[in-house]
Structure 1
């Protein structure tokens, strides 16, 4: 099992093209940890904003009667992918993994696969 720091390092090294990563508590919007980012990518602000994205999607699913759980959410920009993966299980309930990818250098399918692996190993 991996802690927050190890999981962040794994997201940044194992996911090709990763520019920044965060592990976020979506009940509060607080990042438990971040790695990467920079002046053009404020991961603390992004963590809080993506909490709103998750809450809105959950609310919409309830309103339209969709069953099932969200695995991940993809936001595609011209030069980046923003990938959000909800953490399942008792060790990560209420958390999500967030990674920003350089679209030109990343493989989205592999990134999703790697995030699933990080999720499985995460223990908070």
Structure 2
């Protein structure tokens, strides 16, 4: 089972990957980062992405409608996709044994990136990621 560094290196092998980070959305801190960062600073990018993640995770409008309540180890949102003129940002929530306040942030160029493939692979990575 891969840890943070292995997961980030795997994410950077995706076509069009510019940068990747594992972020704690409650604190806004990057637990690990690799490659370029939007705006040039990994910590600022992590804090700004964490704000989006918190909004999505804490509002009932984005929670699943069916089934029983979610356990603390299950994030209410699978992922967020933000697109702009030249890139995509994927935020994939990671289920953990504790409070599930972690997500993977992948920054892709639109010209070379494959959004569908990246989404599938991030989901697989999130399922295998081991946080200690």
Q: TM-score category by the smaller chain?
A: 0.7 to 0.9
The TM-score normalised by the length of structure 2 is 0.83
Name the structure 2 match of 1:54. Answer: 53
Aligned to 1:11: 11
Structure 1 stretches (4+) deviating beyond 6 angstroms? none
What stretches of structure 1 of length at least 5 have no aligned partner? none
Change (3 A) 1:84 1:39: closer
Shift of 1:56: 1.7
Give the corresponding residue for 2:91: 84
1:93 corresponds in structure 2 to 100
Give the Cα separation in 1 of the matches to 2:89 and 2:45. Answer: 10
Unaligned runs of 5+ in 2: 65-75
Counterparts of 1:39 and 1:73, CA distance in 2: 16
| Matched residue SS, 1:34 | strand
TM-score scaled to structure 1, two decimals? 0.88
Instruction: State the 1:6 CA deviation.
Output: 0.5
How far did residue 40 of structure 1 move? 4.4
Where relative contact order (Cα < 8 A, 6+ residues apart) is larger, the structure is: 1
Call closer, same or farther: CA 1:46–1:67 in 2, change over 3 Å.
same
How many Å apart are 1:91 and its aligned residue? 6.5
1:1-124 superposed matches below 5 A: 1-13=1-13, 15-37=14-36, 40-59=39-58, 61-62=59-60, 64=61, 67-68=63-64, 69-90=76-97, 93-124=100-131
3-state SS of the aligned residue for 1:105?
coil
Query: Within 2, Cα distance between the matches of 1:103 and 1:88?
Result: 28
Give the paired residue count. Answer: 120
